[in-house]
């Protein structure tokens, strides 16, 4: 009898990319795949591009660390999501559930436990996010990306696996990327990524310094949904809200990357040996996970780090120049990292922990 795996995770692209790496692998093995996400999250957009992955949406509430009137209503939305997920899981009868985190995953993990379906969670950052913290007690295993994280997972559930990288990212064609952007010059290519939702501070920084930057680089700017600026258009500057299918080609084309420090993205850059300048979200705007991620990379010689509190045009341009002049050193430091083993390990973990039909 055919086995089935149910995936969940969403809210940002980082809570979906590992699922995008695993789904084709299980389909090739003959497994049925299905997905539970939110009705209007980015996960629905990304999963809809895949074939044979039925998508079910459930109610979900945001888990906040700050006061908001929605904090009083969202628990009821989460509870509704648990009942919806419970009904879906009873109908679909998956052999195992894989959760990448994000707010929508909490009801699914709880419902999985209620249905006695094994649950494997993946945590990308050094410290678990709030959604995963709530879900971990109901999971069988927690796969972690950083070795530092394993000791933070109670009950012996932590399993250090490393980063899971989508295979298609390594198949990019730089010349296709060049044609897509319409670049013709010989200047090096700088790729700017502020995360799937964009970064206002990084967007503003780049656009205010375009004249200087364009004397040294051709620029690909992934600025986030609703953040295009027609007034900034000029030769050598190519801006997009978000990119999916063409991303491997753009990464292949890039000589340098400026990015936030979400774990999935920076490990992708690492696996592709791309020198990177990381500007993590500040502790005031997040739980500080990106700061820890980028400091770990800086310590290993994988990146230049510029924390948001220190972000000025002069410091940014100086850091970028230092990164470019020392790019060979960063590429050399990255050579020791091998990302291929993590994917195979997690696939085996899911297969061996799945329940019988």
Q: How far apart are CA 18 and CA 2, in angstroms?
A: 23
CATH 3.40.50.2000, the chain: domain bounds: 4-164+340-353, 169-334
**Predicted pLDDT of residue 235:** 94
Burial 272-309 (b: 16+ CB within 10 A, else e): bebbbbbbbbeeeeeebbbbbbbbbbeeeebbbbbbbe
What are 41-93's pLDDT values in tens digits? 889 999 999 999 999 999 886 654 544 545 555 667 888 999 999 999 999 99
For residue 53, the tally of other CB atoms under 10 A from its CB is 17
Tokens of 128: 């678990």
Tokens of 243: 């990119």
C-alpha triplet 172, 37, 90: angle, nearest 5°? 125
**Predicted pLDDT of residue 288:** 77
Domain 4-164+340-353: which topology? Rossmann fold (3.40.50)
* φ/ψ of residue 195, rounded to 5: 90, 165
More confident residue, 194 or 100: 100
C-alpha triplet 20, 21, 27: angle, nearest 5°? 85
For residue 137, the tally of other CB atoms under 10 A from its CB is 12
Averaged pLDDT of the chain: 90
Asked if 81 and 59 count as a contact pair (C-beta separation under 8 A), the reply is: yes
What's the pTM?
Answer: 0.80
What are 142-180's pLDDT values in tens digits? 999 988 899 899 888 999 998 898 888 999 999 999 999
What are 251-280's pLDDT values in tens digits? 999 999 999 998 889 999 999 999 999 999
Tokens of 250: 């753009």
Quick one: what percent of the chain has pLDDT higher than 70?
Answer: 93
Structurally, at CATH architecture level, domain 169-334 sits in 3-Layer(aba) Sandwich (3.40)
- Looking at the chain, list the stretches that DSSP marks H as alpha helix, in order from N- to C-terminal side: 17-28, 42-47, 74-92, 105-114, 130-135, 174-181, 200-208, 210-213, 247-253, 263-271, 289-299, 313-325, 327-334, 340-353
CA-based torsion, 223, 228, 231, 234: positive or negative: positive
**Predicted pLDDT of residue 329:** 96
Asked if 162 and 341 count as a contact pair (C-beta separation under 8 A), the reply is: yes
**Predicted pLDDT of residue 147:** 84
């Amino acid at each position: 009898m055919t086995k089935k795996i149910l995936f969940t995770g969403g809210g940002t692209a980082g809570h979906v990319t590992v699922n995008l790496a695993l789904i084709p692998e299980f389909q090739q093995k003959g497994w049925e795949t299905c997905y539970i996400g939110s009705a209007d999250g980015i996960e629905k957009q990304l999963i809809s591009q895949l074939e044979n992955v039925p998508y079910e949406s459930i109610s979900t509430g945001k888990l906040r660390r700050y006061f908001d009137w929605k904090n009083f209503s969202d628990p009821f939305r989460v509870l509704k999501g648990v009942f919806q997920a419970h009904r879906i899981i009873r109908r679909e009868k998956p052999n195992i559930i894989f959760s990448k985190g994000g707010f929508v995953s909490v009801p699914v993990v709880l419902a999985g436990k209620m249905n006695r379906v094994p649950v494997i969670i993946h945590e990308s950052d050094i410290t678990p996010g709030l959604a995963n913290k709530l879900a971990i007690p109901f999971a069988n295993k927690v796969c972690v990306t950083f070795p530092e994280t394993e000791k933070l997972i109670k009950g012996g559930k932590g399993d250090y696996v490393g980063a899971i990288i989508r295979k298609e990212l390594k198949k990019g064609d730089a010349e296709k990327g060049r044609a897509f952007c319409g670049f013709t010059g010989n200047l090096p290519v700088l790729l700017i990524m502020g995360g799937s939702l964009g970064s206002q501070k990084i967007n503003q920084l780049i656009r205010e310094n375009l004249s200087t930057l364009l004397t040294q680089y051709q620029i690909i700017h992934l600025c986030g949904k609703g953040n295009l600026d027609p007034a900034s258009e000029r030769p050598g500057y190519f801006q997009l809200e978000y990119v999916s299918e063409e991303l491997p080609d753009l990464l292949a084309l890039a000589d340098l990357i400026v990015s936030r420090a979400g774990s999935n993205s920076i490990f992708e850059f690492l696996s592709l040996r791309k020198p990177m300048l990381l500007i993590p979200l500040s502790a005031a705007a997040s739980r500080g996970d990106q700061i820890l991620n980028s400091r770990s990379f800086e310590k290993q010689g994988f990146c230049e780090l510029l924390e948001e509190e220190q972000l000025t045009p002069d410091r940014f341009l100086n850091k970028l120049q230092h990164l470019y002049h020392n790019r060979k050193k960063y590429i050399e430091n990255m050579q020791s990292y091998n990302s291929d083993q993590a994917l195979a390990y997690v696939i085996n973990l899911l297969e061996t922990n799945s329940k019988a039909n």
